[in-house]
């Protein structure tokens, strides 16, 4: 009998579904087996031992997020890319939630592909994908025949969203100007300015995030999911998700909304995560901070969450 070689694609239970289900569907069409990388439920981090134990010479792709859009967990993507390459696999990184908080460095990480969305770093609704040149040149593209075979046109068929691209460049320039202002060097080149910008953003967001995290943990009715140890802050972003002992996530979000505090409730498309944590169908309340938020807004949010006059959830 002929030997059937089975190939594997790895996705994680921490990721946004955009980096899970599309791979699962593509794998189904190609006869590839999808395996999940598990998480540590107690702190919302990837089980890296689980990943390393599953990698083998039949692994073809590892798809992982740079940061969790639900819990703010930052994944060690440089290590993951190295382990995947040692097994002979390619990597696809989802940087959507990471992009507004820290500088992306595909070279340092050793990434093969990376995708993100400009709206997350204060631009318009434009999707971006970076890939290694040799891979983009060698992989076949689904395109019309008149479209060019060279880069980038091979992957950018049709009339482009020029106004969206212009808005994306403006958002990048805005971030670069933050970096120039932070170090007082108006002539700093764009890449260096972006690195300075995200260094300043990281310092400020850490102050806000730690203030919010500490305050949330002092409210008995709340549970904070993910990393809660202040000493481990470099392993997370200022995206904090909570559940309430007596209220559904949607009820908490509605109450905060009436007070002028915008949060989100549900699973934020991180469905594998909320299912693994046993939080479906209610999900969690997500409080997301960025560099334009203030200490006053953090304190106002905490004040609203401390209010005792709330209806009790029926059993």
pLDDT of residue 1: 39
Within 8 A by CB and 6+ apart from 54, the residues are 8, 10, 35, 37
> What is the fold of 8-158?
3.40.640
Domain boundaries, the chain: 8-158, 203-306
Instruction: Give the tens place of pLDDT for each residue, 188-228.
Output: 999 999 999 999 999 999 999 999 999 999 999 999 999 99
Which CATH number does the domain 203-306 belong to among 1.10.10.10, 3.90.1150.10, 3.40.718.10, 3.40.50.970? 3.90.1150.10
- Percent pLDDT > 70 in the chain is 96
| Mean of pLDDT over the chain | 95
Is residue 157's pLDDT more than 90? no
Question: How many Cβ atoms from other residues are within 10 Å of residue 53's Cβ?
Answer: 10
Tell which residue, 10, 115, 23, 15, has the closest CA to residue 75. 15
Strand pairing report for 264-266 and 284-288:
antiparallel
Give the mean pLDDT of 62-85: 99
Tell which residue, 197, 209, 178, has the closest CA to residue 295. 209
Within 8 A by CB and 6+ apart from 13, the residues are 36, 37, 38, 39, 272, 273, 276
Question: How many Cβ atoms from other residues are within 10 Å of residue 315's Cβ?
Answer: 3
Instruction: Give the tens place of pLDDT for each residue, 237-286.
Output: 999 999 999 999 999 999 999 999 999 999 999 999 999 999 999 999 99
Rounded to an integer, what distance in angstroms lies between the CA atom of residue 97 and that of residue 95?
A: 6
């Amino acid at each position: 009998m002929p030997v059937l070689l089975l190939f594997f694609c790895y996705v994680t239970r921490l990721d946004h579904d955009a980096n899970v289900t599309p791979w699962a569907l593509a794998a189904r069409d190609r006869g590839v087996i999808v395996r999940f990388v598990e998480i540590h439920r107690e702190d919302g981090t990837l089980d890296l031992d689980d990943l390393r134990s599953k990698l083998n010479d039949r692994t073809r792709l590892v798809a992982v997020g740079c940061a969790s859009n639900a819990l703010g967990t930052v994944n060690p993507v440089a290590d993951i890319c190295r382990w995947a390459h040692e097994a002979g696999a390619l990597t696809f990184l989802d940087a959507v939630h990471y992009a507004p908080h820290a500088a992306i460095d595909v070279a340092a990480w050793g990434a093969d592909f990376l995708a993100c969305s400009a709206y997350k770093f204060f631009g318009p609704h434009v999707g971006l994908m970076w890939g290694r040149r040799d891979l983009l040149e060698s992989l076949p593209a689904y395109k019309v025949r008149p479209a060019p075979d060279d880069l980038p046109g091979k992957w950018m068929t049709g009339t482009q969203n020029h106004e969206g691209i212009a808005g994306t460049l403006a958002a990048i320039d805005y971030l670069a100007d933050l970096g120039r202002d932070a170090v007082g060097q108006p002539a700093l080149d764009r890449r260096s300015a972006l690195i300075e910008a995200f260094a300043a953003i990281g310092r400020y967001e850490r102050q806000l995030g730690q203030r919010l995290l500490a305050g949330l943990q002092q409210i008995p009715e709340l549970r904070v999911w993910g990393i809660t140890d202040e000493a481990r802050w470099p392993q997370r972003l200022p995206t904090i998700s909570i559940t309430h002992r007596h209220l559904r996530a949607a009820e908490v979000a509605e109450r905060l909304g009436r007070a002028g505090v915008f949060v989100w409730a549900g699973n934020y498309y991180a469905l594998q995560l909320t299912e693994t944590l046993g939080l479906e169908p209610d999900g969690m309340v997500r409080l997301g901070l960025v560099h334009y938020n203030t200490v006053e807004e953090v304190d106002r949010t905490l004040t609203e969450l401390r209010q005792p006059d709330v209806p009790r959830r029926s059993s």
